[in-house]
């Protein structure tokens, strides 16, 4: 009698523990490992240059900041860089990879093993078998179908932590794409402004050469007339030679800028000449600048968002590692 009571009590305890475990699984509890907590970062409440009239505390629309330069050529170059830059395309593929890994981690929360089995057999006796009546049907067929599924209960939260890590990895990949996009856009704008600046300097150098050639002619005429010394002629000749010597260096820098722009656009050197067209003006920066509030600066920086996402993903992996210390299938 006592043994039967003990067995009944043990069975009740096992059933109670099983029900409790299922409840914890269904309610999403019992996930071992630390939960990620966003660190507090001290930020300034106001900009240090608040009194500057060129700064505005209003909302900062920086998604298309280069359009404030009002340069159609730059707008076209940025658009092409976003479409054709190889590094940006690789970053986009990393997002797809992270999304696929998240799908795999999510799938582990469902039955991990599914098997569908089928069997069809056709049986019969030989017509030449002894003691077989021709009127007797000796042929028959059998068929069977079976479905097996195996599911490891996520009692310790291993799979939930893996999904959590996958979500953060996806956020990190997206932030990495945004970081590269910001860097690419800024680099295209920088190279374009440098390129237009070099074109302007070359135009000024050509104008200076024309003016200095005329000045040398005047100095020679004055020297021949006895109004100036030979030193004035030598100085005019040296100034003209220095200006002419600076032009090949500026031209080389201009070619380097064009080649760098071609690399950013995923094009061959020389193919950007048609996009740039004739030498143009240097883009003018607007006098006012909307900067928002200091706290928004950290939220806008994708590199900081990517670093936080990677840290949170590693925090979730601690739970995955700890779950392996406990019994599991």
Domains of the chain: 57-111+156-323 (1.20.1600.10)
What does each C-alpha distance from 186 to 14, 133, 171, 299 come to in angstroms? 64, 93, 22, 18
pLDDT surpasses 50 at 153: yes
Is the full-model pTM beyond 0.85?
no
pLDDT of residue 232: 87
User: Is the model's pLDDT at 25 over the cut of 50?
Assistant: no
Residue pLDDT, tens place only, 295-329: 677 777 899 899 999 999 999 999 999 988 888 76
Mean pLDDT of 52-74: 75
- Summarised one tens digit per residue, pLDDT across range 238-261 is 999 999 999 999 999 999 999 999
pLDDT of residue 12: 58
Average pLDDT, the chain: 81
| Tens-place pLDDT, residues 140-150 | 678 888 877 77
- Pairwise pLDDT comparison (11 vs 267), residue with the higher score: 267
């Amino acid at each position: 009698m006592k043994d039967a009571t003990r067995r009944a009590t043990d069975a009740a305890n096992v059933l109670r523990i099983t029900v409790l475990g299922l409840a914890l699984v269904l309610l999403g509890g019992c996930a071992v490992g630390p939960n990620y907590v966003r660190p507090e970062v001290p930020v300034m409440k106001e900009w240090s240059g608040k009194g500057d009239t060129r700064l505005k505390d209003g909302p900062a629309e920086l998604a298309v900041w280069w359009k404030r330069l009002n340069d159609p050529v730059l707008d076209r170059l940025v658009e092409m860089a976003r479409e054709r830059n190889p590094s940006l395309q690789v970053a986009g593929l990393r997002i797809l990879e992270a999304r696929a890994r998240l799908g795999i981690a999510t799938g582990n929360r469902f039955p991990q093993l599914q098997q569908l089995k089928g069997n069809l057999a056709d049986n019969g006796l030989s017509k030449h078998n002894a003691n077989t009546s021709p009127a007797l049907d000796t042929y028959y067929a059998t068929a069977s179908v079976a479905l097996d599924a195996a599911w490891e209960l996520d009692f310790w939260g291993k799979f939930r932590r893996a999904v959590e890590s996958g979500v953060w990895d996806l956020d990190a990949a997206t932030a990495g794409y945004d970081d590269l996009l910001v860097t690419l856009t800024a680099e295209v704008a920088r190279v374009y402004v440098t390129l237009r600046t070099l074109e302007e300097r070359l135009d000024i150098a050509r104008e200076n050469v024309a003016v200095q050639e005329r000045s040398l002619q005047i100095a020679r005429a004055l020297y021949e007339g006895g109004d100036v010394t030979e030193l004035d002629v030598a100085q005019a000749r040296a100034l003209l030679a220095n200006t002419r010597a600076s032009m090949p260096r500026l031209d080389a820098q201009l070619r380097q800028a064009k080649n760098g722009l071609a690399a950013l656009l995923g094009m061959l050197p020389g193919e950007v000449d048609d996009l740039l067209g004739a030498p143009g003006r240097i883009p003018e920066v607007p006098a006012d600048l909307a900067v928002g509030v200091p706290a928004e600066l950290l939220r806008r920086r994708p590199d900081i968002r990517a670093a936080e996402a990677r840290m949170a993903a590693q925090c979730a992996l601690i739970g995955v590692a700890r779950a392996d210390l406990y019994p599991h299938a």
